[in-house]
């Protein structure tokens, strides 16, 4: 079976093109709750229109609701989901575990796809997804095809049916699973809320021990391209391949959909080459095809180049460009100036709103390393301006504004025009160079194509207007660009492809669904027709009786062949005639063609109505869903939510109770001695992250609840880690007194690593050595006979997330550090069950990125060779204050640590009001003195929460820390949302009991 081709759409125009060019499914977002906040996106009416158009074309529509939802937004979110439910969307894509719980409880028939940001990368987490109502898992881009194949095999062996999806083309996030916190913590724009500032596309300097190692676009990846590997993906068990690009243009989406459709259908053509003509940062097969970080990273540039043609081998001749003087009247001069000013103002307005627009186009790239997307060029202005400039100044290559580009294209000419007092317009002279380019790639270049010249870091581009000579070995053409022999030449835009794509911009219905008719006549010679067609392996049947009758033939009777021919004309409908059976037709009957046409139209209209109704829920199901939603809203707004009311969410899908921990009494008795025995004045406990045995020993001297021990940075490779980890944990346990020691499992843990960790744990258990576990994925709780705690990367944003993860076996969760005080407070107040500990990180340089990158393949073939437990410095080249620590774990994954130190010591009295169980100090990557003093200072703060004392302690932290102290999002939340949602929530004074 051919894999599903899943295309992106950021607007209805793009949506139409994706369907018309052969997408099997399209994913898109509404105005809110999608992970591309700056795409044009769809309002509710557009979604309804899109779904109908898609279903008539036998195409599915998936709606992304893959952002994280806070408690202020729950009701609005569910009302939106109800609208999608009524419209009949085919599935929703979710990241938030709380959103998963709500949808499967209130809308149990709605299909749910697990977003790549859920990080379900091993069999146990995928099995958890299956058991928790998820119908499809979208794998992270970092998982390998070998791992996918093993997961698929295990699912099949255990008779578990689950759809598997991967990204096959487009941009790659630097951070694993797209879980990046740089934008949120430093710019107030959360990538997890669709507002990423793309810090990975900026230039950085890498330093180690005070010396510069390298610079460039150090965090920028190449773009994924698996067009050569589709057969391998299908064999591994993949059901759907996804193309990235909801921020991309019509040309981009049209080109990649057309290419992949034809490749999947094994059509002949240059479809793989076509992928080079739309925006890309050069291609990689990615981690999924087992490529190394050096092959995935594209550190030399974060912009578009296109398909390499060859180098300039000769400049044949040079001559001055000559222009005629043009006399214009004063009136025309004024009109021209007015038009220019109007355009200028419009362009300025558009430029100022770049980040609020979605299309990828050429906008401002001169004097930049980045070449922008040239697929949106307006080609209606193909006049004879010699070698028009198509690149102007811009840094943001992906989010640039798609406007009319005629003025940008002609900028070079405009700069060369001067007006004197006699109203004479004259162009300044430029030098025309006739150049010869060797063809390493024998592609045919046409007038109107976009050509890019690359020399050093600089890239300049033109539209080619005249071709002097061309064959398979070279091309000769003119340019006014300042080029040199040896410069690389690329074709980055194809006028012919652009022209071809314009055919697919209009709406039209494709006849994809086979339909069968079984025709007989009643006694009165009315046609009785049994009609059937299949959708998703289900047969849709209906009966039709014509109002028109057959008549006795006066001249020539109608034949079966004539009836079949007329009824088979199904153009511009969803159907094509697969089979027409005509039973016992007398040979002396006649019916006019017009009546046959009417019969055909009425049958196809009824078939289309049945097709659309198939995707919609019946009235009873709609009524039940509405009742569940209204009951939920009433309970949610109530001041006194009873446990049994709130727990009604747990009765869906017969979820098994995963909270039965009777077999864990040993741990509870021996490892939780001080759970409710705090010495502090308030009930707020204190826990700490550490990464060395020395820090474990220091922490054990203080009154702590939990010591989260993360030994991932002590070893050079997996073999070394698993050879030594049991002894390291044994030594750590020997150092603690009353605290609970928690083993932090490796991030993005694989199936093989899970099995190795289980062996270590079972060995410790056999020796009566108790230890708890921290994980960043669900599904592994039942593998360890221990308490399971959730790391902050689980992204806990609402109380329903707490419920879902509690039911999945977690006994403690860290609230997301992206949340504000108000968001935390309402979350805790709404979490009635209180069956797990809730914690927040109150101090530390937070981890903002975990990446597969190992900083190999730097300039001059350099690599970052650090000693274990050492770190490098990553510095933003233009914004020098943005600096990060880079550390490496035993898998050579890079962990990037925020420049600013989160410090909430002076907010302890406020934290108390939230109602959490404890605060955590992240003291990993710190020295002994810093860790000891930090713990001591916070313990003093917990004992005396007076403002005077807390201010004094804050000053001590200042003198202790080498970082700028920040409160993160704790007080102000995510700044960019304040005028959108947070402002709405706060200004309307929504209480905790909304």
Which of 587-591, 764-768, 812-816, 962-966 is predicted with the least confidence, judged by mean pLDDT? 962-966
- Is pLDDT above 90 for 606? yes
Q: Is the pLDDT of residue 426 over 90?
A: no
Asked whether the predicted pLDDT for residue 559 surpasses 70, the reply is yes
Q: Is 537 left (phi over 0), alpha (psi -120 to 50) or beta?
A: left
Quote the pLDDT of residue 526: 96
Least confident interval from 280-294, 544-558, 869-883: 869-883
Neighbours of 345 (CB within 10 A): 10
pLDDT at 864 over 70: yes
3-state secondary structure of 271: helix
Angle, alpha carbons 115-120-121 (nearest 5°) = 125
**Is the pLDDT at 712 greater than 50, yes or no?**
yes
**If one looks up domain 4-187+220-277 in CATH, what number appears?**
3.20.20.70
Mean pLDDT over all residues of the chain?
A: 84
pLDDT of residue 976: 58
Cβ atoms 905, 938 nearer than 8 A: yes
Alpha helices in 572-692 (DSSP H): 593-614, 619-637, 643-646, 665-671
For CA atoms 355, 360, 363, 365, give the dihedral sign: positive
Question: Worst-scoring range by mean pLDDT, 451-460, 472-481, 709-718, 761-770?
Answer: 451-460
Contact criterion met (CB below 8 Å) for 288 and 170 = no
Where are the chain's structural domains?
A: 4-187+220-277, 307-319+429-493, 513-615, 685-846+901-975
- Residue 869 to residue 888: CA distance in whole angstroms: 8
* C-alpha distance across the termini of the chain, in Å: 49
Query: Is 288's pLDDT higher than 80?
Result: yes
Mean pLDDT along residues 38-54? 88
**Predicted pLDDT at 321:** 76
Give which of 437, 446, 445, 481 is closest to 462, Cα–Cα: 481
CATH topology for 307-319+429-493 is Elongation Factor Tu (Ef-tu); domain 3 (2.40.30)
Residue 97 and residue 111: Cα distance in Å, rounded? 15
Q: In what order do the strands lie in the sheet with 204-208?
A: 211-216, 204-208, 872-876, 883-888, 894-897, 847-851
Q: What is the mean predicted confidence (pLDDT) over 279-298?
A: 95
Range name among 344-353, 455-464, 810-819, 885-894 with the lowest pLDDT average: 344-353
Q: How many CB atoms lie within 10 A of CB 512?
A: 14
2.60.40.10, 3.30.1330.60, 2.10.25.10, 3.20.20.70: CATH of 685-846+901-975: 3.20.20.70
Residue 15 has pLDDT above 70, yes or no: yes
CB 132, CB 114: distance < 8 Å: no
Is-contact 635 645, C-beta < 8 A? yes
Cβ neighbours of 231 (radius 10 Å): 11
- Which backbone phi and psi does 214 adopt, to 5 degrees? -165, 170
**8 Å CB contact between 690 and 709:** yes
Is 254 in a helix, a strand, or coil? Answer: helix
Neighbours of 971 (CB within 10 A): 12
User: What pLDDT sits at residue 173?
Assistant: 92
**How confident is the model over 521-548, as pLDDT tens digits?**
999 999 999 999 999 889 999 999 999 9
Chain segment 319-329, per-residue pLDDT in tens: 887 655 555 44
Tens-place pLDDT, residues 362-383: 223 233 333 333 333 333 333 3
In degrees and rounded to multiples of 5, residue 630 shows phi and psi of -65, -40
**Hunting for tokens 């609701």 — which residue is that?**
65
Three-state DSSP at 956 gives: helix
Q: What is the pLDDT of residue 145?
A: 98
Question: In this predicted structure, what is the pLDDT of residue 638?
Answer: 84
Instruction: Give 779-816 pLDDT, tens digit per residue.
Output: 999 899 999 999 999 999 999 999 999 999 999 999 99
Mutual angle of helices 751-766 and 718-735, in 10-degree steps: 30
pLDDT digits (tens, 9 = 90+) for 149-193: 999 999 999 999 999 999 999 999 999 988 888 877 777 677 777
Structure-block tokens of residue 615: 């995707």
Q: Please compute Rg for the chain using Cα positions.
A: 32
Do the domains spanning 4-187+220-277 and 685-846+901-975 agree at the CATH topology level? yes
Each residue's pLDDT tens digit, 887-931: 999 999 999 999 889 999 999 999 999 999 999 999 999 999 999
Higher pLDDT, 465 or 643: 465
Find the DSSP H helices in 738-782: 751-766
The single-letter DSSP state of residue 610 is H
Torsion of CA 462, 464, 467, 470, to 10 degrees: 80
Q: Is the pLDDT of residue 212 over 70?
A: yes
Residue 568 has pLDDT above 90, yes or no: yes
441/410: higher pLDDT = 441
The residue to which tokens 């019969």 are assigned: 599
Query: Facing residues of 489 across strands?
Result: 310, 453
Check whether 35 has a pLDDT greater than 90.
no
Owner of token pair 């591994």: 236
DSSP structure class, residue 529: E
Q: Which pTM value belongs to this model?
A: 0.85
Judge whether 185 and 860 are in contact, CB under 8 Å: no
Contacts of 899 (CB under 8 A, 6+ apart): 186, 845, 881, 882, 883, 884, 885, 963, 964
| Phi, psi values for residue 843, rounded to 5° | -155, 140
Kindly state the percentage of the chain with pLDDT values over 70.
Answer: 82
389-424 pLDDT, tens digit per residue, is 443 333 333 433 333 333 333 333 333 344 444 444
Q: Is the pLDDT of residue 351 over 70?
A: no
């Amino acid at each position: 079976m051919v894999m599903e081709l899943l295309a992106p759409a950021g607007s209805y125009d793009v949506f139409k093109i994706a369907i018309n060019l052969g997408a099997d499914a399209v994913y898109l977002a509404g105005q809110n709750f999608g992970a591309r906040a700056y795409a044009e996106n769809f309002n509710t009416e557009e979604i309804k229109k899109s779904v109908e158009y898609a279903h008539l074309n036998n195409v599915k529509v998936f709606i992304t609701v893959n952002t994280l939802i806070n408690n202020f937004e729950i009701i609005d979110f569910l009302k939106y989901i109800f609208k999608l439910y009524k419209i009949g969307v085919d599935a929703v894509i979710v990241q938030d575990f709380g959103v998963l719980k709500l949808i499967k409880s209130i809308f149990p028939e709605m299909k749910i796809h697990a977003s790549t940001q859920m990080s379900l990368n091993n069999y146990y987490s995928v099995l958890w997804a299956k058991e928790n109502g998820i119908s499809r898992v979208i794998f992270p881009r970092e998982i390998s095809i070998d791992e996918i194949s093993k997961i698929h095999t295990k699912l099949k062996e255990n008779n578990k049916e689950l759809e598997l999806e991967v990204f096959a083309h487009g941009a790659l996030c630097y951070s694993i699973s797209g879980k990046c916190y740089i934008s949120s913590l430093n710019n107030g724009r959360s990538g997890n809320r669709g507002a990423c500032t793309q810090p990975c596309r900026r230039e950085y300097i890498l330093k180690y021990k005070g010396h510069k190692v390298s610079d460039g676009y150090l965090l920028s990846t190449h773009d994924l391209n698996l067009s050569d590997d589709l057969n391998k993906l299908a064999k591994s068990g993949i059901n759907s391949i996804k193309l990235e690009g909801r921020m991309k243009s019509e040309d981009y989406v049209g080109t990649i959909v057309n290419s992949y459709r034809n490749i999947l259908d094994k059509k002949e053509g240059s479809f793989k080459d076509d992928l080079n003509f739309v925006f890309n940062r050069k291609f990689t097969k990615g981690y999924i095809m087992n490529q190394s970080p050096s092959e995935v990273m594209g550190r030399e540039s974060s912009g578009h180049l296109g398909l390499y043609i060859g180098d300039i081998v000769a400049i044949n001749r040079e001559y001055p460009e000559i222009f005629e003087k043009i006399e214009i009247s004063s009136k025309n001069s004024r009109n021209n100036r007015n038009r220019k000013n109007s355009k200028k103002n419009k362009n300025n307005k558009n430029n100022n709103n770049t980040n609020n627009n979605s299309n990828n186009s050429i906008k401002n790239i001169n004097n930049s390393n980045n070449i922008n997307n040239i697929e949106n060029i307006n080609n209606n202005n193909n006049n004879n301006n010699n070698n028009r400039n198509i690149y102007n100044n811009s840094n943001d290559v992906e989010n640039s504004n798609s406007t009319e580009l005629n003025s940008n294209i002609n900028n070079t000419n405009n700069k060369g025009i001067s007006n004197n007092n006699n109203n004479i317009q004259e162009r300044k002279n430029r030098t025309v160079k006739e150049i010869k380019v060797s063809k390493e790639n024998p592609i045919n270049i046409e007038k109107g194509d976009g050509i890019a010249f690359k020399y050093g870091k600089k890239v300049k581009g033109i539209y080619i207007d005249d071709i002097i000579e061309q064959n398979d070995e070279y091309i000769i053409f003119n340019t006014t660009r300042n080029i040199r022999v040896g410069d690389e030449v690329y074709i980055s835009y194809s006028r012919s492809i652009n022209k071809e794509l314009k055919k697919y911009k209009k709406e039209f219905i494709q006849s994809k669904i086979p339909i069968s008719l079984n025709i007989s006549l009643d006694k009165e010679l009315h046609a009785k027709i049994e009609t059937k067609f299949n959708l998703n392996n289900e047969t849709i049947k209906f009966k039709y009786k014509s109002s028109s009758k057959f008549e006795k033939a006066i001249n020539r009777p109608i034949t079966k062949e004539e009836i079949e021919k007329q009824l088979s004309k199904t153009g511009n409908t969803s159907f094509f005639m697969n089979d027409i059976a005509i039973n016992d037709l007398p040979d002396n009957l006649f019916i006019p063609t017009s009546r046959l046409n009417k019969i055909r139209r009425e049958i196809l209209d009824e078939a289309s109505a049945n097709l659309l109704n198939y995707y919609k829920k019946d009235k009873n199901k709609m009524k039940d869903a509405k009742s569940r939603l209204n009951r939920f809203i009433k309970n949610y707004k109530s001041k006194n939510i009873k446990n049994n009311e709130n727990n009604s969410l747990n009765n869906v899908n017969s979820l098994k109770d995963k909270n039965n921990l009777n077999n864990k009494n040993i741990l509870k008795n021996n490892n939780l001695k001080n759970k409710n025995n705090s010495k502090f004045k308030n009930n707020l406990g204190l826990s700490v992250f550490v990464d060395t045995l020395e820090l474990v020993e220091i922490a054990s001297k203080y009154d702590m609840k939990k010591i989260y021990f993360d030994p991932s940075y002590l070893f050079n490779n997996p073999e070394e880690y698993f050879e030594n980890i049991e002894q390291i944990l044994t030594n750590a346990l020997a150092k603690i007194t009353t605290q609970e020691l928690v083993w932090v499992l490796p991030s993005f843990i694989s199936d093989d690593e899970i099995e190795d960790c289980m062996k270590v744990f079972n060995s410790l258990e056999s020796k009566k050595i108790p230890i708890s576990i921290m994980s960043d994925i669900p599904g592994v709780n039942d593998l360890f006979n221990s308490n399971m705690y959730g790391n902050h990367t689980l992204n806990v944003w609402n109380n329903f997330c707490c419920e879902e993860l509690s039911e999945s076996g977690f006994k403690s969760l860290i609230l997301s550090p992206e949340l504000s005080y108000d968001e935390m407070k309402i979350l805790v107040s709404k979490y009635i069950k209180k069956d797990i500990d809730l914690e927040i990180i109150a101090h530390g340089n937070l981890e903002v990125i975990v990446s597969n990158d190992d900083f190999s393949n730097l300039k001059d073939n350099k690599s970052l060779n650090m000693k274990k437990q050492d770190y490098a410095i990553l510095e933003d080249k233009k914004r020098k204050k943005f600096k990060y620590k880079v550390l490496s774990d035993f898998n050579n994954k890079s962990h990037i640590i925020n420049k600013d130190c989160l410090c909430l010591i002076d907010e302890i009295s406020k934290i108390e009001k939230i109602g959490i169980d404890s605060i955590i100090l992240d003291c990993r990557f710190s020295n002994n003195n810093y860790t000891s003093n930090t713990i001591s200072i916070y313990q003093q703060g917990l004992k005396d929460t007076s403002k005077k004392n807390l201010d004094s302690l804050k000053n001590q932290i200042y003198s202790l820390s080498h970082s700028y102290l920040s409160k993160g999002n704790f007080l102000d939340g995510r700044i960019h949302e304040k005028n959108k949602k947070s402002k709405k929530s706060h200004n309307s004074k929504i209480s905790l009991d909304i």
